[in-house]
Structure 1
Amino acid sequence: MAKPMTVDEYIEAFPTAAQDHLREIRTLLWSAVPTAGEQLKWSHPAYVHRDGVILFMFSGHSKHASLAFTPSTRAAFADELAAFQTGKGTVALPYGTAVPVDLVRRMLEYRVREYEIEGVKWM
């Protein structure tokens, strides 16, 4: 597979079911921070604050999409994420299941405040 040049190309490289999930996540990320820039970082879609700091990223995998925040954002929602597979700053969202829109939206808002008020940069 050729290295994607745009976020659209990135999403289109996945099977249809995964594309739908990734597009839903993308729309949710844009709605949370419409002023963020969208770029590919390490070949994955990233949302960058107007100051140039990465706020969050997403990526597609064979069985799930992954959202990446700062570890402190993930930790702040640890109780609500107990049913999900998580990593240092990531949350796996399995294809074929509903995206937890309310939870993700609150995590996105937390991450933006975390950067803008507390100055927490990317990992």
Structure 2
Amino acid sequence: MGAVDDYLVGVEDEGDRAVLARVYRIAQELAPDAEQGTGYRMPALKHRGKVLISAIRAATHIGVYPFSAAAVAAVAGTVSGIDGAGASTGAIRFAPGTEIPDGLVRDLVLFRMAEIDG
């Protein structure tokens, strides 16, 4: 097991755990070489040694962190159309229980991978 697997085991709400696991699963499908690790003390997947994405259940929200303000900006239009979701400079936050669209996760991960590979 790794940092992501260990983290997911500890997420108490089954629905939120499933949402978080799906974020990581999509990222892993797009970046099969990604390894589990941490970034800014959060469980994360790393691509070529650099942090690719993190998704966590915080006290009041589910946070997705691509570690890139440009990646967040690239999907801001999609985020604004989701009830209970919002974006800041480096994060996208969803109300607990919110399904995170697969396409949004794909766009974030592909954007971030391009940054890392660029």
**Correspondence for 2:56:** 59
Offset of 1:44 from its aligned partner? 1.5
Q: Normalization by structure 1: what TM-score?
A: 0.78
Point out where structure 2 has 5 or more consecutive residues left out of the alignment: none
**Which has the greater radius of gyration?**
1
1:1-49: CA deviation from partner (whole Å, max 9, x where unpaired): xxxx732221122222221222112211211211111113343211212
CA distance in 2, matches of 1:115, 1:43: 20
Among all aligned residue pairs of Structure 1 and Structure 2, give the percentage whose two residues are the same amino acid: 22
Q: Is 1:26–2:13 an aligned residue pair?
A: no
Paired residues, number: 112
Q: Normalization by structure 2: what TM-score?
A: 0.80
Point out where structure 1 has 5 or more consecutive residues left out of the alignment: 118-123
- Aligned Cα root-mean-square deviation (Å): 1.9
Contact 2:56 2:62 in 1 (8 A): yes
CA distance in 1, matches of 2:15, 2:74: 30
* Structure 1 stretches of 4+ moved >3 Å: none
CA distance in 1, matches of 2:33, 2:50: 13
**Greater helix share, structure number:** 2
Contact 2:3 2:36 in 1 (8 A): no
**Correspondence for 1:105:** 106
